[in-house]
């Protein structure tokens, strides 16, 4: 307290001399607390917000016990800036990429989520200034910030990332309450389902997409062999997504060595050519390996016909010289075929990931169980039911009406 010494008007030692309650000529008679935090090499000062000595001492003793408790449990007494902690957390998650715990694409998503969070928080604030209800208005903020273009599923994922960041802060002793105590505005479930319906394809739209890709990827519409190869690979990439339900990040990292087996089978009287794929744990969002079947092996066979690099460690979706297709390659192709197809994309978030939504919808409508869909897609039945709740409602409605019709027939 050397910086305050010349202004001291009154001082009282408490807790055996380990802390002081004092007043200075500059604080209007309000008592202050001073505690030396040896673990961090700093003097902790705080206003006790009272001019009554006995009340000040009682409050100071409680605060002293809290500070020592934090030190004893390895928690930091002094808070850190939110921007600094976000950058430290991103560095921490980068080590997970190196060790294979998450993929690089996942880290990019986490980074984007936290950058969005920082637009909500004051960059100069410390994490100790974040309270349990600080994020109560985050939902409304994100909606207004994007002119209501961001969908609820995106914000829900940002909630999850914020909680992960907070969990790291808590385990690092930088904050005093757990992530499950953070309060967020709850979602309207119907709105979340509307986002999923809006951001996928109808059967008619998928047919238009299919036709547009065939035209756009034709040799007559390509300037050279290299462009023709890339467009053909991307055409089959889209078809594979729609027929497997793979996440785009999982498909992007498929290698020729991940093709386990081709098989011709007879199914419902028709000959089918299928292919078994291995989704490696290190490429999966949930870090679990699984086997996936693509019911149209021809998509992989077509890529193989024009690819010159087909070693077990070569990427399937690659340029003529074997390099992985870039995000620019994919976005240019996608935007072109969506435009050519004439699909109405205004106020919709149609991306290659929408094909996963389409696949799940098709499998559900074909009578496949939630459990089997979830296993194929590398997620949980609970997650599928939560996101595709509207499909379950349609099934329930159909069942109810079917029973009603049966009852009416019995009455005739």
Structure tokens at 185: 């505005």
Q: Give the angle subtended at the CA of 339 by the CAs of 333 and 341, to the nearest 5°.
A: 100
pLDDT for 286: 81
Task: Return the CATH number of the domain spanning residue range 201-396.
Answer: 1.10.443.10
Q: Residue 23 above 60 pLDDT?
A: yes
Q: Residue 193 above 60 pLDDT?
A: no
Q: How far apart (Å, rounded) are the C-alpha atoms in residues 144 and 152?
A: 13
Q: How far apart (Å, rounded) are the C-alpha atoms in residues 178 and 173?
A: 11
Please provide residue 165's backbone torsions phi and psi, each rounded to the nearest 5 degrees.
-60, -45
Least confident of 3-12, 16-25, 296-305: 3-12
Percent of the chain surpassing pLDDT 70 = 89
| pLDDT (tens digit per residue) in 261-308 | 999 999 888 899 999 999 999 888 888 899 999 999 999 999 999 899
Does pTM top 0.75 for this prediction? no
Q: Which residues pair with 34 in a beta bridge?
A: 20, 45
Strands 42-47 and 270-279: unpaired
Q: Residue 73 above 80 pLDDT?
A: no
Q: How far apart (Å, rounded) are the C-alpha atoms in residues 137 and 26?
A: 37
Assess whether the region 82-187 and the region 201-396 belong to the same CATH fold. Answer: no
Q: Residue 25 above 90 pLDDT?
A: no
Max CA separation in the chain (angstroms)? 101
Q: Give the angle subtended at the CA of 291 by the CAs of 390 and 154, to the nearest 5°.
A: 40
pLDDT for 410: 37
Integer angstrom CA distances of residue 340 from 201, 214, 216, 227, 331: 15, 11, 8, 18, 14
Q: Of 264, 274, 278, which Cα lies nearest the Cα of 312? A: 278
Cβ(196)–Cβ(390) below 8 Å: yes
Q: Residue 7 above 90 pLDDT?
A: no
pLDDT for 403: 47
Structure tokens at 31: 């008592």
Of 342 and 46, the structure prediction assigns the larger pLDDT to: 342
3-state SS of 207-222? HHHHHHHHHHCCHHHC
Q: How many C-alpha atoms does 78 have within 13 Å on its Cβ side?
A: 11
Q: How far apart (Å, rounded) are the C-alpha atoms in residues 362 and 376?
A: 13
| pLDDT (tens digit per residue) in 80-115 | 889 999 999 999 999 988 887 787 888 999 999 999
Of 40 and 263, the structure prediction assigns the larger pLDDT to: 263
Q: How many C-alpha atoms does 285 have within 13 Å on its Cβ side?
A: 16
User: What's the N-to-C CA distance of the chain in angstroms?
Assistant: 94
For the segment 182-195, the average pLDDT, to the nearest whole number, is 71
| pLDDT (tens digit per residue) in 153-171 | 889 899 999 999 999 999 8
String of DSSP letters for 81-103 = BHHHHHHHHHHHHHHHHHHTSS-
Every domain of the chain and the residues it spans: 2-72, 82-187, 201-396
| pLDDT (tens digit per residue) in 115-126 | 999 999 987 788
| pLDDT (tens digit per residue) in 350-393 | 899 999 989 988 888 888 888 898 899 998 887 777 676 655 55
In total, the chain counts a number of residues equal to 412
| pLDDT (tens digit per residue) in 209-266 | 999 999 999 999 999 999 999 999 999 999 999 999 999 999 999 999 999 999 999 9
**pLDDT band per the 50, 70, 90 thresholds, residue 412:** very low
pLDDT for 311: 95
Q: How far apart (Å, rounded) are the C-alpha atoms in residues 319 and 234?
A: 10
pLDDT for 88: 92
pLDDT for 332: 95
Q: Of 256, 259, 231, 230, which Cα lies nearest the Cα of 244? A: 259
Structure tokens at 151: 């969908």
String of DSSP letters for 221-241 = G-SSHHHHHHHHHHHHHHHHH
Q: Of 324, 305, 301, which Cα lies nearest the Cα of 313? A: 324
Cβ(34)–Cβ(19) below 8 Å: yes
**pLDDT band per the 50, 70, 90 thresholds, residue 411:** very low
Of 46 and 231, the structure prediction assigns the larger pLDDT to: 231
pLDDT for 3: 44
For the segment 47-62, the average pLDDT, to the nearest whole number, is 93
Least confident of 21-25, 51-55, 186-190, 356-360: 186-190
| pLDDT (tens digit per residue) in 118-151 | 999 987 788 988 999 999 999 999 999 999 888 8
Q: How far apart (Å, rounded) are the C-alpha atoms in residues 395 and 67?
A: 57
Integer angstrom CA distances of residue 173 from 81, 125, 407: 14, 17, 64
Q: How far apart (Å, rounded) are the C-alpha atoms in residues 380 and 369?
A: 12
pLDDT for 371: 87
The DSSP symbol for 255 reads B
Indicate the average pLDDT of the chain: 87
Topology at the third CATH level for domain 82-187: DNA polymerase; domain 1 (1.10.150)
């Amino acid at each position: 307290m050397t910086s305050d010494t010349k202004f001291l008007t009154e001082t009282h030692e408490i807790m055996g001399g380990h802390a002081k309650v004092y007043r200075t000529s500059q604080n209007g008679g309000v008592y202050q607390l001073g505690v030396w935090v040896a673990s961090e090499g700093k003097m902790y000062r705080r206003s006790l917000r009272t001019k009554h000595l006995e009340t000040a001492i009682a409050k100071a003793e409680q605060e002293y016990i809290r500070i020592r408790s934090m030190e004893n449990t390895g928690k930091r007494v002094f808070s850190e800036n939110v921007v600094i902690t976000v950058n430290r957390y991103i560095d921490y998650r980068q080590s997970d990429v190196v060790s294979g715990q998450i993929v690089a694409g996942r880290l990019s998503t986490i980074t984007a989520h936290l950058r969005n969070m920082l637009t909500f928080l004051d960059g100069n604030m410390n994490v100790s200034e974040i309270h349990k209800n600080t994020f109560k208005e985050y939902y409304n903020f994100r909606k207004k910030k994007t002119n209501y273009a961001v969908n609820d599923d995106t914000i829900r994922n940002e909630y999850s990332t914020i909680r992960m960041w907070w969990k790291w802060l808590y385990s690092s002793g930088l904050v005093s309450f757990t992530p499950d105590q953070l309060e967020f505005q709850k979602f309207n479930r119907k709105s979340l389902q509307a986002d999923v319906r809006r951001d996928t394809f109808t059967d008619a739209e998928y047919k238009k997409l299919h036709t547009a890709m065939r035209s756009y990827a034709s040799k007559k519409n390509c300037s050279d062999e290299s462009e023709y190869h890339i467009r053909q690979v991307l055409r089959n990439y889209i078809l594979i997504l729609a027929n497997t339900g793979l996440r785009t990040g999982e498909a992007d990292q498929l290698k020729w060595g991940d093709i386990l087996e081709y098989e011709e089978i007879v199914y419902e009287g028709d000959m089918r050519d299928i292919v078994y794929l291995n989704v490696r744990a290190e490429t999966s969002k949930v870090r679990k390996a699984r086997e996936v079947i693509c019911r149209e092996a021809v998509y992989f066979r077509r890529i193989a016909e024009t690819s010159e690099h087909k070693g077990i460690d070569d990427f399937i979706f690659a340029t003529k010289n074997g390099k992985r297709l870039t995000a620019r390659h994919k976005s240019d192709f996608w935007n072109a075929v969506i435009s050519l197809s004439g699909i109405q994309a205004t106020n919709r978030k149609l991306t290659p990931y929408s094909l996963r939504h389409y696949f799940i919808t098709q499998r559900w409508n074909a009578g496949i169980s939630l459990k089997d869909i979830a296993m194929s897609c590398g997620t949980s039945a609970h997650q599928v039911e939560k996101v595709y709740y509207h499909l379950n409602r349609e099934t329930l409605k159909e069942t109810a009406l079917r029973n009603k019709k049966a009852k009416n027939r019995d009455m005739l």
